[in-house]
Copies of this chain bind each other. A is one copy, B any other.
Amino acid sequence: MARLAGVSRATVSYVLNNADAVRISEPTRRRVREAARELGYVPHAAARSLRAGHSRMVLMPAPAFPVGPVYSQFINDLQVALGRLDYTVVQYGTVGVHDDEAARAWAELRPVAVLVPGSGLGPRGVAVLKRSGARAVVTLGPETVEGAHALLMDHDVVGHSAGAHLFDQGRRRIGVVVPREPGLEAFSAPRLAGVRAALRGTGATVTELPLAHDEGAAARLAARWCELGLDAVFTYNDEYAMLLMRALQDAGVRVPEETAVVGADNLMLGRLLRPRLTTVHLDLPSGAELAALVDRAVRDPAAAPEAHKVMGASVIRRESG
C-alpha cells in the first residue's frame, strides 16, 4: 500500500495497529496516517487472517424463512453482545444447501466460531468445522450434537406448558395446529410432541391440525370444527392463533366457552385480540449469555462441550383460555 508514503510496509503495519512493541516517531506516524487517509486505505481482512491464522468472525447461517420479532431481537442482542467482545458476526446465506455441504461452505471462511440454530448440523459437519479451525461450534436446537456445545432449546416445553395449562382448565379434547409452511417443522414438531407428553396417560386426546397460514384454510378448518369435537386448541404460535380464532368466531364458535385457544410467543398482537389471547411466553437466553458462552469456548477450545437447557416457557393467562 502506501509505501509511497515514504516508509516500508512494516512501518505502516506498526502504525495502523498501534503496535506497542516497537516505537515509531510521531512525524512518521502522522505521515503514515495521512497517506492512509488520502489513499482510502483499508486493511485486507483476508490477508490479515491468513497471516494471523485465525479471525474474529462468528458465523451464523441466515434463517431461510420469515422470522418473527422474537428471533430478530435475539439475533440482534447477540450481535451487539459479541460485538462488545470484539467479534464480528456474519450471517451466511446458505440457500438450499444442507448438512455437510453447508458445513464445508462455512468452513471455507475459517470462522473462529459457528452458531447453528435448528438441527441442520450433524457430527460430521461439526468435525469439518473444527478441523478447519473453528474453535467453537454451538448448536441452538433441540438436541446435542457430538463435539459441539449446545444451547438446548427444545420447543417441547412450549407445547408442554400449553398442554398442561389446558388440562388444568378442564379441557380434554385438545387440537394442536401444525403449520403447513415449510421450514417450521423444526419448531412445530416439538411443540406438538410437548403437548402429547403433557397429556400422556391423562385420558385427554390430542388431535393434530395441519393448517396453512391463509384465511381460506382457516375457514375450512373452522367449518368442520363441530365434527372435530374439540374443546381446546394450541395454535403453534400467536399468529396462527389470530388466524384460527378469527375463523372460529366467524364460524360461530364461542371462544373460550366452547373452545379455548392458546397461542405462543407472547406477541403484542395477542393482547389486542378479543378475547385477549392466552399465550406461552418463551424465555430465551440473553444475547449476552450466549456471547459469553462463545467467548469461553473460543478461549478454551479443548474444554468439553457444554450443554445447557436454556429455554423456559410459561403460560400467560388472558381471556381466550
Contact = CB atoms under 8 A, between A and B. Distances in A.
B272 A215 contact: yes
**Residue among A79, A104, A272 with max Cβ neighbours from chain B (10 Å):** A272
This chain: copies in complex: 2
A110 B62 contact: no
Contact of A108 (B43, B50, B67): B43
A108 B269 contact: no
Interface string A50-81: 10000100000010111101001101100110
Given A213-B268, A215-B271, A42 B90 contact: no
Chain A interface main SS type: helix
A22 interface: no
Given A46-B47, A67-B72, A242-B272, A92 B93 contact: no
A93 B95 contact: no
B88 A93 contact: yes
A224 interface: no
**Residue among A44, A72, A271 with max Cβ neighbours from chain B (10 Å):** A44
A89 B80 contact: no
Interface string A277-315: 000000000000000000000000000000000000000
Interface string A119-138: 00000000110011000000
Nearest to A109: B45
A204 interface: no
Contact of A66 (B76, B91, B96, B214): B76
Interface in A1-48: 39-40, 42-47
A169 interface: no
A49 interface: yes
A209 interface: no
A44 B132 CA distance: 9
Given A40-B127, A46-B50, A268-B213, A93 B89 contact: yes
Nearest to A103: B42
Given A40-B132, A110-B46, A90 B88 contact: no
9 contacts: A42-B107, A42-B128, A46-B50, A62-B79, A62-B91, A67-B72, A88-B93, A91-B91, A242-B272
